[in-house]
């Protein structure tokens, strides 16, 4: 039996959605600065201590039912296609936990001539059907100091990273705070053959993002990597829905 749910299930089972918002700018990675509409899916398989979206998974602090709406694929697709943005970003949480329902969603969006980026922590193997649907992947593996104690052994899934790399549709984006983090990025890159590598400065204020970007820039260049900004933080700070 196919690992993905049947098409009948997909039309019935809703997506667990934390929020939908836009138009705004994609803040991170290769498409930073492009106008985009966002869908944030709820639930995550990791529990990183510094997490921008704990309301998608942290049951010790949040009643997830209050932060989750159930929406059909058709409802989400209709909302996205009513937005002016040509780029759709599906983020989380960890969106690949719901990848069976992402397949028809991505198919609907790309069929309308729009681009889709799925943001993932890189621990779940993407379904071939999702890759074939035409999405790209912004993969953010977690460095040791950004992962929780119980996630240290499972923050890297070699099979998932290999599948994402083999898709030819993935970039690998690491949050880094200082130069010592770059050594660990290099180790992960070498261990899994990841390319291209993007480094994004840690920070929830424009001052932090700028200071860390300036501190990291030359070393990132020297290593042949790319540097991502956090456009939404620079513009609006750490607010929801932007
Ligand atoms: S993988 Fe992302 S969403 Fe999940 S806990 Fe870590 S930072 Fe938060």
Q: Would the CB of 85 count as within 6 Å of ligand 1?
A: no
Rounded CA-CA distance 166/189 in Å is 14
Given a contact cutoff of 8 angstroms between Cβ atoms, the answer to whether 76 and 16 are in contact is: no
Percent of the chain with pLDDT over 70: 95
Confidence of residue 172 (pLDDT cuts 50, 70, 90): very high
Q: 């456009």: which residue's tokens?
A: 231
pLDDT for position 8: 53
- Assess whether pLDDT exceeds 90 at residue 102: yes
Mean pLDDT check: name the lowest of 25-29, 85-89, 147-151, 215-219.
147-151
- Assess whether pLDDT exceeds 60 at residue 173: yes
Distance (Å) of CA 205 to CA 1, 32, 157, 210, 239: 48, 17, 31, 9, 10
Distance 8 CA to ligand 1 centre (A): 30
pLDDT for position 80: 98
Q: Would the CB of 72 count as within 6 Å of ligand 1?
A: no
Binding positions for [4Fe-4S] cluster are: 44, 48, 51
Using most ligand atoms within 8 A of CB, pick from 19, 40, 51, 140 the residue to mutate for ligand 1.
Answer: 51
Binding positions are: 25-27, 40, 44, 48, 51, 53, 91, 93, 140-142
- Condensed to tens digits (0 to 9), the pLDDT of residues 2-35 reads 445 555 555 568 999 999 999 999 999 999 999 9
**In terms of Cα–Cα distance, which of 195, 198, 122 is closest to 159?**
122
pLDDT for position 240: 77
Q: Would the CB of 47 count as within 6 Å of ligand 1?
A: yes
Across the range 86-113, mean pLDDT stands at: 97
Distance 46 CA to ligand 1 centre (A): 6
CA angle, residues 89, 40, 59, in degrees to nearest 5: 150
Residues 6+ apart with CB under 8 A from 63: none
Q: What does the mean pLDDT of the chain come to?
A: 94
Using most ligand atoms within 8 A of CB, pick from 16, 48, 118, 122 the residue to mutate for ligand 1.
Answer: 48
pLDDT for position 149: 85
Residue 125 tokens read as 């193997």
Task: Tally DSSP H helices, then E strands, for the chain.
Answer: 8, 9
Which atom of ligand 1 approaches the CA of 121 most closely?
1
Domain boundaries, the chain: 7-173
Rounded CA-CA distance 42/92 in Å is 6
Rounded CA-CA distance 1/119 in Å is 27
pLDDT for position 79: 98
Using most ligand atoms within 8 A of CB, pick from 19, 42, 45, 46 the residue to mutate for ligand 1.
Answer: 46
- Condensed to tens digits (0 to 9), the pLDDT of residues 41-71 reads 999 999 999 899 999 999 999 999 999 999 9
pLDDT for position 107: 97
- Condensed to tens digits (0 to 9), the pLDDT of residues 150-165 reads 889 899 999 999 999 9
pLDDT for position 1: 42
- The winner for highest mean pLDDT among 3-12, 141-150, 166-175 is 166-175
CATH of span 7-173: 3.20.20.70
Percent of the chain with pLDDT over 90: 89
CA angle, residues 99, 3, 112, in degrees to nearest 5: 40
3-state SS assignment for residue 141: coil
Residue 67 tokens read as 């932060």
């Amino acid at each position: 039996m196919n690992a993905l749910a049947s098409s009948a299930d997909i039309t019935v089972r809703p997506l667990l959605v934390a929020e939908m918002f836009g138009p705004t700018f994609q803040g991170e990675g290769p498409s930073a600065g492009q106008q985009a509409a966002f869908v944030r899916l709820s639930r995550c398989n990791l529990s990183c201590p510094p997490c921008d979206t704990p309301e998608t998974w942290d049951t010790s602090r949040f009643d997830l039912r209050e932060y989750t709406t159930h929406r059909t694929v058709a409802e989400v697709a209709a909302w996205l296609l009513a937005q002016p943005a040509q780029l759709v970003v599906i983020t989380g949480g960890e969106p690949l936990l719901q990848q069976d329902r992402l397949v028809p969603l991505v198919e609907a969006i790309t069929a309308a001539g729009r681009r889709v980026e799925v943001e993932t922590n890189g621990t779940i193997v993407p379904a071939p059907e999702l890759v074939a649907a035409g999405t790209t992947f912004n993969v953010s593996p977690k460095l040791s100091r950004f992962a929780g104690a119980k996630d240290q052994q499972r923050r890297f899934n070699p099979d998932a990273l290999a599948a994402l790399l083999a898709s030819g549709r993935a970039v690998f984006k690491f949050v880094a705070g200082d130069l010592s983090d770059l050594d660990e990025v290099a180790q992960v890159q070498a261990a899994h053959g990841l390319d291209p590598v993007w480094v994004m400065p840690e920070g929830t204020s424009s001052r932090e993002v700028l200071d860390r970007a300036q501190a990291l820039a030359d070393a990132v260049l020297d290593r042949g990597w790319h540097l991502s900004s956090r456009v939404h933080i620079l513009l609006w700070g750490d607010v929801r829905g932007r």
